[in-house]
Amino acid sequence: MGTLEARHISGDITREVACSLHAGDQVLYSGIVYTARDAAHKRLVEALDAGEDTPIDIDGTIIYYAGPAPAKPGYPIGPVGPTSSYRMDPYAPRLLDLGQRAMIGKGARSQEVIDAVGRNEAIYFAAIGGAAALIAQSVKSADVVAYDDLGTEAIRRLEVADMPITVAIDCHGGNIYETGPAEYLASRG
């Protein structure tokens, strides 16, 4: 299973970077992340179905499944914790096939998403559930880039520094949602 010391990654998550990561690896990510929840994912796929351009370039994108709370004065964003990723499962394989490089959320994924991660040499990160205020401290700037009418579910472009995430599903077939419980049970005898 992954490394205990956090790996610092800055900028794009290329195929090479994704392939160098393994389930359980701890990462401190610095770069650009887009927030999008299920309503925004639905609109992205509807735009694709209609032959339209999406408001963000999907190729190489990191999408964080989050709907941040309003920012307090002087802060770029309010608490921004991960939402349950399964709600994006109907849309994620298509976006991964278009070049989306990474997803950040919480919880297990469908077999279709796991398969898409593998075939596209992508990565699924888990963010710390229940630590929305902690994660917000990693956000240096936040701007709505699409679907402003969705409020907290609008797509936002976040610039983050040392965002704490864990590799949950890697492109090699590693999956902490499968190995974690097995390792726990084995440690219990």
Query: Which residues are identified as catalytic?
Result: 41
Look at the alpha carbons of 54, 141, 64, 124 in this order and tell me if their dihedral is positive or negative: positive
Helices (H), the chain: 15-20, 38-49, 92-97, 111-119, 132-136, 176-187
Q: Measured between alpha carbons, how far is residue 79 from residues 52, 73, 130, 133, 169 in Å?
A: 32, 13, 10, 4, 25
